Structure 1
């Protein structure tokens, strides 16, 4: 969530109780819309994020924990079908989660000790560790200390091996650096050796992918092995395009007439003898007889009928001009396998991706199929940015095999019943449902289908022109529903980027930028709204929640207080910026937020942004009582802070015309005179003030 709406003022005694600082982590501490939050959720958050209690980082993380839980419950309430999608997702994700628990929290963090072992060691040696940090912030250090204590002989040998060889008499010392390096090397060994050992232990093997024969590949991809399309043509060539145009202007020329023009006027000596005959020309190949490449020729001839004459076309190779006569089209032909065998074999060996049936077995365990091509396809679906290639395919298969090995071992030692696994599962559930919900919110369509289709037929996708109609429905809907104030504000804030186009002329370009802002604000509103309406039950006395945002009016009062009372300009900026984005469809809110943001930019001495916001304000809301103040403020900043006097004079001239009775006109006149005097009025005024002092 863009702004922190939730903070916890005390955490230490909440998260960990008992003599060993672990306590019962399955203790319920709160419910959000009926959904539980446990101590172990805090413990997991602290360990994975290395978050220290009673810090701003902890307050933000705790706020996120509560607000995301609220969003999760709202999403499931609005879209019950997410439950089935979540269940299917969890089946495919189980090995990944167990691998994370094993690698990150068991082997790397705990060095394969149990939590109880480390807690017992921590209680016995508490004086070795800082009192200012919680056990969860120290657990990896506790594991380090326990490992060092249990391996003193190995540590001494390690220290001897890494002694200062330049000084043969130097005493072998076990320093803190040596201890740190000793444990670090052990961790690297775990990373290096555990995966291969577990693959061997559980007899998990990748199968060799059998590629199809060249003949089978050829049959499946016959359309790749055809001759290109072409045409049989005549031509007339000239160095002067206008002279060439005169030969055909106003004439309807048949082949006989074309040949007559070619034999008399063509400047290509070779084809002139043959009355302009060029012969068969193939797409992608240069034309013979010194004509070279004429790419547009193929595009144009493809639209003409046999017996038609082209327009004047220029050769990219020679710069000379041509008119072509289309005799006939030459269709592509299938190349026989024997002719392309070597090409097929080369492409088969270097093809960008495998082409496997979804049931193809990729990994076995004890000889039984465990991972198939469908599992790789699911991984691609979860990671749409991943490039599909043989290399990425091999990486996914190896990753899935390793996850299976680690997950199998994790189950063997009971990590699937650990508090950490439960906490990770809950976090994963929340993350996945929120991801589904966000996609729904950002791609929502609220406009009738016939309106969408009509708009697409008229202008295509207004933001992403290459997308099909089905892919464009969300953008098309946004085009109809995007608030006018957002569009105008976007244009006038960066007007110089759109000029010389007017707002109406630049609308599509403006939309390309504004619709992203619209969606960001729409999602932020969902996040804030879900927390603002959440029912929270607390079961710990020392949890204090910040007020929930129940309305835009409440949000504006809070933002105004930050600015005018707390004098916290940075937080006020974040608050007003979020309010404007979230409630952009409420024109009065967007207007108020824009005016306040312009003031804040000025206070922050971001003068260029300030003058842009002031301009966007009075252009978007010209009838506002504050429009003349915004215009005056912009003019003042342009001259006094940015020293753009020509621009300032234009603004002040417009001000005088629009607001002839304004109380600010006296100030405007003084500023104009000062500009025209090259600052002499201001200098004289300062001297007068200094003299009076």
Structure 2
């Protein structure tokens, strides 16, 4: 597999250079990270196809090295020292330690440490001896192998018998022993072994099911945990001020006058609704015919906004008001089911009138206003307020809220309410803190798996933050350059004649620095065909400037990121020792062009097009730009993007007027119009241009024939598009 391939190629001295081959050669490395052959083998051994495997391995190595490079750069720039990030990193250590304890100690080992479980397993290994494998008189190789393995270690592995080991350990605990004795006693005299086992099994299930909460309560008691509620005070002055600002939201529920029809059949109820709404039948006539409540016939009833009950209705009629409160006057409701006695009754209400909404007085709104004031004050809890104490150490709101750093504002806001904060303190912060303290108490903080997990999570966070707050924002543009532009162009960042804060408009500053107005004008004039109407006339620059800026920004960002990653790799000594997995080199335009042609020939049109466009954008003086125009036009034809193909042919004619093959581009414009877009008029005009401008070219006769064909319908054999107008039509 890969190791054998590497060994063979190394013999030709083309792959490894000072990488310490040994038994596990280094495939790639960068400061802080080494990728070895064994790692690659374990990850990609299931991929049989060599080309596919090479591609996947190359992508993996590039991704891992670039991630480490970004991590190194984040450390170099001090991202781990930023106050918010420092808090997040500390929380990651706490959370991962707590998770390790919950999963590896409580869930996996029922509260025992792995060392305790292993010790108990070794002490009682005879209980877990395997049966000796059967061997024929003439043992097969497989039987010999199985027997040798048994003789070397005749015991079942710990992970196979872990539940039995844990059960035995649990039954040895004094409290469990006592509880077991009580349960067995309750079974009566001389219970059989099956009943005893079932009783033990029930105890185990109860113990394991409650273990997390039991341990949590024990830890709270051990560490003298106290939780403090935050109950802000609201005085009458504050209450009245809040009401004055928001009193438009405190309105009395208006009284309504209604009529109703009651039926006990659901189908009939919906039929009545349809007859009123769709057939415009009279509501009172239907009421008289179908309504079961004869006392309400023809009557208009008042539904009080204060009481919300409806006269004549048996059952809970208060559910009616919120259902019909916004129903327009004159309209009817859908059936509303109310349990009135033994049968469910369906009511259809018609709104006759609704009183005007009135504002509540201060006294009427007092309770609601007080609730709102309290909610607002809860959100503004002082950061130094002590929400809990652990071993007499104060846990402040700021410490608890540090769990909310770098998460979505919506989620953070939810946990800042009184109810959300209670969950944040008790369900999360204290659990993380106490479980992580238990890890230290048990001496598990240096467990290799936990140390690696913490390191990986801290790295992932820093890389993510580095990308989101720096790379994806500035794309490596120095902060001083951004601020200098902001200060030099204040008019670009004014809102209502006021200069916006720099941090608020930073993204826009980056855009203007990376894509200048001159770049937009240059792109417009160089690629005018891309910004033209279907008839070929150019759109005004003002109409397409925003689009051009977005296009250029996308390209600038891509190339800036590529350059940044190359610089980071170099700065941190990234090396790939296997040639076929090496990074993409910074290619010359000629090399890029050759790659694009290979992709084009392989009909990988998307990647070929991207390569061609990269050359056009980055290397405008490249000698093969005319060939790129023709190649792109051919790709667009293959992709059935015919208008773009015509744009490319027109670009060719405009940019390379002295090229000896320009008549081919003119001919192909006519060909695309006639054979793909079915536009005879434009096709004839394009073919005529071939005759007028290039009368002696090799395609003049073909153009003449095509015009004749379009005018008379004469049959012909179409050109092979792959030759881009190289063959003469035949009749």
TM-score (norm 1): 0.53
Does residue 84 of structure 1 match 2:81? yes
Alignment check: 8 A CA contact 1:199 1:205 kept:
no
1:117-152 deviation line (CA, Å, top 9, x unaligned): 8xx99xx9xx9xxxxxxxxxxxxxxxx996444336
CA drift of 1:225 comes to 4.0
CA drift of 1:468 comes to 6.9
SS in 2 for 1:210: coil
Taking the aligned partners of 1:544 and 1:497, their CA distance within structure 2 comes to 46
State which of 358, 369, 374 in structure 1 corresponds to 2:394.
369
1:467-511 deviation line (CA, Å, top 9, x unaligned): 976663233433536455655789855756999992413134424
Taking the aligned partners of 2:393 and 2:613, their CA distance within structure 1 comes to 58
> Residue 30 and residue 676 in structure 1: after superposition, are their counterparts in 2 closer, same or farther (change >3 A)?
same
2:489 corresponding residue in structure 1: 452
Does residue 601 of structure 1 match 2:618? no
> Residue 656 and residue 485 in structure 1: after superposition, are their counterparts in 2 closer, same or farther (change >3 A)?
farther
1:200 corresponding residue in structure 2: 217
Does residue 502 of structure 1 match 2:539? yes
> Residue 554 and residue 500 in structure 1: after superposition, are their counterparts in 2 closer, same or farther (change >3 A)?
closer
> Residue 557 and residue 500 in structure 1: after superposition, are their counterparts in 2 closer, same or farther (change >3 A)?
closer
Equivalent runs, 1:681-692 vs 2, <5 Å: 681-682=716-717
State which of 684, 706, 715 in structure 2 corresponds to 1:680.
715
State which of 534, 549, 552 in structure 1 corresponds to 2:585.
549
Taking the aligned partners of 1:627 and 1:356, their CA distance within structure 2 comes to 74
Alignment check: 8 A CA contact 2:3 2:37 kept:
no
1:593-628 deviation line (CA, Å, top 9, x unaligned): 97487257358x3222x6426526744993135877
Does residue 529 of structure 1 match 2:528? no
1:564-585 deviation line (CA, Å, top 9, x unaligned): 6xx4443x73365267469845
Taking the aligned partners of 2:625 and 2:560, their CA distance within structure 1 comes to 20
Equivalent runs, 1:206-605 vs 2, <5 Å: 207-213=228-234, 215=236, 218=239, 224-225=245-246, 341-348=366-373, 354-362=379-387, 364-366=389-391, 368-370=393-395, 372-373=397-398, 376=401, 379-383=404-408, 386=411, 388-389=413-414, 394=421, 398-405=427-434, 407-411=436-440, 412=442, 413-414=444-445, 418-442=451-475, 444=477, 448-449=485-486, 452-456=489-493, 472-477=508-513, 478-480=515-517, 482-484=519-521, 493=530, 502-511=539-548, 513-514=550-551, 516-518=553-555, 520-530=557-567, 533=570, 536=573, 545-553=581-589, 556-557=592-593, 559-560=595-596, 562-563=598-599, 567-570=601-604, 573-574=606-607, 577=610, 580=613, 584=617, 586-588=619-621, 595=629, 598=632, 601-602=635-636, 605=638
CA drift of 1:556 comes to 0.8
Structure 1 gap ranges (5+): 1-7, 15-23, 128-143, 156-185, 229-334
TM-score (norm 2): 0.50
Equivalent runs, 1:640-655 vs 2, <5 Å: 640-641=675-676, 643=678
Larger Rg computed on CA atoms: 2
SS in 1 for 2:466: helix
State which of 147, 150, 161 in structure 1 corresponds to 2:162.
150
CA RMSD of aligned residues (A): 6.2
Equivalent runs, 1:625-636 vs 2, <5 Å: 625=659, 633=668, 635-636=670-671
Does residue 94 of structure 1 match 2:76? no
SS in 1 for 2:655: coil
1:62 corresponding residue in structure 2: 61
Alignment check: 8 A CA contact 2:389 2:395 kept:
yes
CA drift of 1:516 comes to 5.0
> Residue 153 and residue 357 in structure 1: after superposition, are their counterparts in 2 closer, same or farther (change >3 A)?
closer
1:501-546 deviation line (CA, Å, top 9, x unaligned): 92413134424642552454244433553367466466x9768642
Alignment check: 8 A CA contact 2:673 2:680 kept:
yes
Alignment check: 8 A CA contact 1:358 1:372 kept:
yes
Taking the aligned partners of 1:108 and 1:651, their CA distance within structure 2 comes to 76
CA drift of 1:560 comes to 3.2
CA drift of 1:63 comes to 1.7
> Residue 150 and residue 380 in structure 1: after superposition, are their counterparts in 2 closer, same or farther (change >3 A)?
closer
Does residue 612 of structure 1 match 2:644? yes
Alignment check: 8 A CA contact 2:529 2:650 kept:
no
Taking the aligned partners of 1:105 and 1:670, their CA distance within structure 2 comes to 84
> Residue 573 and residue 209 in structure 1: after superposition, are their counterparts in 2 closer, same or farther (change >3 A)?
same
Equivalent runs, 1:13-92 vs 2, <5 Å: 31-32=29-30, 35-38=31-34, 55=53, 56-73=55-72, 80-82=77-79, 84-85=81-82, 89-92=85-88
SS in 2 for 1:437: helix
Deviates more, 1:541-550 or 1:655-664: 655-664
Taking the aligned partners of 1:38 and 1:354, their CA distance within structure 2 comes to 48
Alignment check: 8 A CA contact 2:593 2:611 kept:
no
2:103 corresponding residue in structure 1: 107
Alignment check: 8 A CA contact 1:363 1:371 kept:
yes
CA drift of 1:64 comes to 0.5
Deviates more, 1:639-648 or 1:62-71: 639-648
Taking the aligned partners of 1:684 and 1:13, their CA distance within structure 2 comes to 49
Taking the aligned partners of 2:580 and 2:210, their CA distance within structure 1 comes to 47
Alignment check: 8 A CA contact 1:522 1:581 kept:
no
Alignment check: 8 A CA contact 1:618 1:630 kept:
yes
CA drift of 1:50 comes to 10
Taking the aligned partners of 1:341 and 1:531, their CA distance within structure 2 comes to 62
> Residue 221 and residue 674 in structure 1: after superposition, are their counterparts in 2 closer, same or farther (change >3 A)?
farther
CA drift of 1:37 comes to 0.9
Taking the aligned partners of 2:439 and 2:711, their CA distance within structure 1 comes to 80
> Residue 634 and residue 26 in structure 1: after superposition, are their counterparts in 2 closer, same or farther (change >3 A)?
same
SS in 1 for 2:62: helix
SS in 2 for 1:549: coil
Taking the aligned partners of 1:596 and 1:146, their CA distance within structure 2 comes to 69
Alignment check: 8 A CA contact 2:649 2:668 kept:
no
